[in-house]
Chain A
């Protein structure tokens, strides 16, 4: 099946630093999604990418849809304490007709040291 390889698994950074994480797959995806999950909560969609090569920003977050359609990255600039959490990449599982859910990476755990 479709698998997403997300790295790094965890990041320990200082407040104010920039963050970069990426996701790769052996399969082609037509959509890449980036979610953030806070403790005790469900994932929240941060950025959705729909076109190869697309670069999209949401405040301090920037994500790109790789030109090969097999990878994506997420950057966070000037990190702040509320950026702490687990970041997931995800892509739709299309098997023909209807909505088929998402496949997720294992997540990048972001820890910010004051």
Chain B
């Protein structure tokens, strides 16, 4: 595997379900990110992890819970989501302030 991978690619869940999104990067980067992409809105930064430590929580509701066990893996735990949380969730990684970022293909989440 190369680059940034995300699983699952598609997820449908009810509002009472608990699920997790997984991201893995094979680039040796030390920073990982979660973004949310909703229709007709810019990509929104959710969480930033630098050297496994969370450095940014961009006012995200507590029903989204990130976890970064090491610099290569990032999870987003989901519970009691709302239909408006349906979106494409993108993971990215970068090396420090490289200025860019490599994105994964995203998980298309639908909350019923």
Contacts and interface: CB of A to CB of B under 8 A. Distances in A.
A105 B42 contact: yes
Contacts of A88: 42-43
Instruction: Give chain A's interface residue range (CB within 8 Å of chain B).
Output: 20 to 34
A90 B101 CA distance: 10
Interface stretch (B48-56, B61-69, B72-80): B48-56
Question: What is the predominant secondary structure among interface residues of chain A facing chain B?
Answer: loop
A79 interface: no
Contacts of B33: 99, 101
Instruction: Give chain B's interface residue range (CB within 8 Å of chain A).
Output: 20 to 34
B103 A99 contact: no
Contacts of A93: 45
A101 B43 CA distance: 11
A43 interface: yes
Interface string A22-59: 00000000010101000011111100101000000000
Interface string B34-58: 0100001111010010100001101
Interface of A: 4, 31, 33, 35, 40-45, 48, 50, 88, 90, 92-95, 97-107
- Ranked nearest first, the 7 interchain pairs of A and B with the lowest CB-CB distance are A42-B103, A99-B31, A101-B45, A31-B99, A104-B43, A98-B50, A104-B42
25 contacts: A33-B99, A35-B103, A40-B105, A40-B106, A41-B105, A41-B106, A42-B92, A42-B104, A42-B105, A43-B90, A43-B103, A45-B102, A88-B43, A92-B99, A93-B45, A94-B97, A99-B30, A99-B48, A99-B55, A99-B94, A99-B97, A101-B35, A101-B58, A103-B45, A107-B42
